[in-house]
Chains A and B, each alone.
Chain A
Amino acid sequence: MSPLVGTTALAARNLTKMRRNSASVIGAVVFPILFLVLFNTVLNRAMTGIGIDYVQYLPPAVTVQAMFFAAMSTAFYLTDDRASGVFARCRTLPIGRLSPLVARALADLTRAAVSLLVVLVVSMLLGFRFRAGVLPALGYVVLALGFALVLILGCGLVGLYAKNAETAVVLVEVPYLPVLMLSSAFVPADRFPDWLEPVVQASPITKVVDALRALSGGGPTASVLPTALVWCIGLAVVFLVVGARRMKVAT
């Protein structure tokens, strides 16, 4: 059997499982909408006070947040499939050894794409616009999904190490909060305490969110896009190398 058939069959199975779990559906669709509306309600006035149009500022942040949710799903389901013996069973079948992992990434990337669509549609309803034109808008989508893939690889790594799904969720949920919040995602970097500002400036999340802002709002992309791409590629390579080692040990 061609490796493609096995992978797509497993990816379809993963998507069906997610669709039937209301927690996954709520995480992919409802939570991004809630965060858009709630952050906008809570912080709009304070941000207008410092001269920021929050309706335009917020969607890249929630985009990145939604990509995090998609990647958390990787950690959870991957560990679950490992712990419950689905992966062991796959090894007795005539499919590629990497097929279950690729299928997992494909399914969660699909989930990320659905979330991205939801975020963009609701943002537009709130007043968000792609001011830079069609090509940068496409760049926004590609960068968002590319970053989702990087996060999926990182969370997949957690899925290869964690003992059970419960531990896996804790292992990704706890770092997620400071990593996302201590960036320019929701509040500009210069509003953080002085001692923290260098950390916020250096954060890869800041780089990606700033690049998404430039691609949507029409700012200069040359200064922010390359750094964001270097971070994405660098992280992806690290995750892949560590993951490949783990696979060697595991089998």
Chain B
Amino acid sequence: MIATLALAGRSLRRFRRSPAQIVASIIFPGLLLVVLLACFGELVEEFTGADYVSRIVPGIVAMSLAYGAVASGVSMLEDLRDGFAGRLKVMPVATGALLAGRVTADAVRGALSTTVLTVLGFAVGFRFETGVTGVIAFVLLAALATTGFSWLALSVGTRAPGIEAVAAPLNALFLVCLFLSEGFVPIEGYPGWAQPIVRANPFTCIRNALAAIAEGGSTRQPVLYALAWIAGLTLVFAPLAITGFRARSRTTGPGPAPTVAEARV
């Protein structure tokens, strides 16, 4: 437990000192929020008659959680390759502590980026109808949702041969998830064939739950859908991450330290 917290603290310090990670999980989503609002706001409001800010803020929050998790998968691969995971094996630390620490750090980071994005959203007109309880539930659900994406990224990070093999497929997957979600355009904006995909998309479920929490009204069904996705991602990918980590930390020793940038172009 102490080891997990110590390793979580290490992850968060590395996050704080990495401009690339701060850009990916906070600055880029914030910029995207403002730019999309300016670019699509009028068009979509004309199409739906509903306010675009309340659509896009929870959508961008859901997106930022997933994109932030990609960096976690990359860092895990780095830890395995540069021998950090191997060094932990000779210490009195549980095997899973590195993974658990990473997921804990991701939850904290998710809460942090959600708070920043919500404040930014407030500045451009996003409002909570549910008061302080709503804000707390919003941030907690976001933090929890991060852990689901985090396990997915870790299961890729513990298995991938190189950094680009972690970031490129996850970024592409999340891009598709972002576009085909209700965070962009409401369901009636999509062609018939895409609507079932949009409805089932985890980004849609998490966005709708966050939006329901902010707006008030009936939250039970959207929140249940979101929790189902988070539980599903965790149940499938946590075991994969653990087995991948076990196999990898047995076989790999120190190697050349890769750079995060390798993965980005």
A binds B: yes
Instruction: Tell me the A residues contacting B by CB distance below 8 Å.
Output: 21-24, 26-27, 30-31, 34, 38-39, 41-47, 49-50, 72-73, 75-77, 80, 164-170, 173-174, 177-178, 181-182, 186-187, 191-193, 196
A169-B172 CB under 8 A given contacts A39-B179, A182-B38, A187-B43? no
B41 contact set on A, CB distance < 8 A = 193
Chain B residue nearest in CB terms to A80: B261
A166/B261 in contact, CB under 8 A: yes
A41/B190 in contact, CB under 8 A: yes
What are 13 contact pairs spanning A and B, CB under 8 A? A31-B175, A42-B180, A42-B184, A43-B43, A44-B191, A46-B44, A46-B46, A46-B185, A76-B265, A174-B23, A181-B39, A192-B38, A192-B42
B19/A170 in contact, CB under 8 A: yes
A22/B35 in contact, CB under 8 A: no
From B38, B42, B46, B172, contact of A30 by CB (8 A): B172
**Within the complex, what minimum Cβ distance (angstroms) separates A169 from chain B?**
5
A164-B259 CB under 8 A given contacts A170-B23, A193-B41? yes
A191-B261 CB under 8 A given contacts A23-B164, A38-B179? no
| Interface residue count on the B side (C-beta < 8 Å) | 42
A45-B39 CB under 8 A given contacts A77-B265, A169-B20, A177-B32? no
A164-B31 CB under 8 A given contacts A30-B172, A38-B175, A45-B190? no
A174-B27 CB under 8 A given contacts A22-B165, A46-B189, A192-B42? yes
From A73, A167, A181, A192, contact of B265 by CB (8 A): A73
Chain A residue nearest in CB terms to B47: A46
From B35, B46, B185, contact of A43 by CB (8 A): B185
From A38, A50, A164, contact of B180 by CB (8 A): A38
A42-B190 CB under 8 A given contacts A165-B259, A174-B28, A187-B43? yes
B189/A187 in contact, CB under 8 A: no
* Residues 15-66 of B contacting A (Cβ, < 8 Å): 19-20, 23, 27-28, 31-32, 34-36, 38-44, 46-47
Chain A residue nearest in CB terms to B36: A181
**Within the complex, what minimum Cβ distance (angstroms) separates B161 from chain A?**
10
A49 contact set on B, CB distance < 8 A = 46-47
The reply to whether the CB of B176 lies closer than 8 angstroms to some CB of chain A is yes
Of all A-B residue pairs in the complex, the 10 with the closest CB atoms, nearest first, are A166-B261, A38-B179, A76-B265, A23-B164, A165-B261, A46-B47, A181-B35, A169-B264, A23-B168, A191-B42
A23/B265 in contact, CB under 8 A: yes
Chain B residue nearest in CB terms to A38: B179
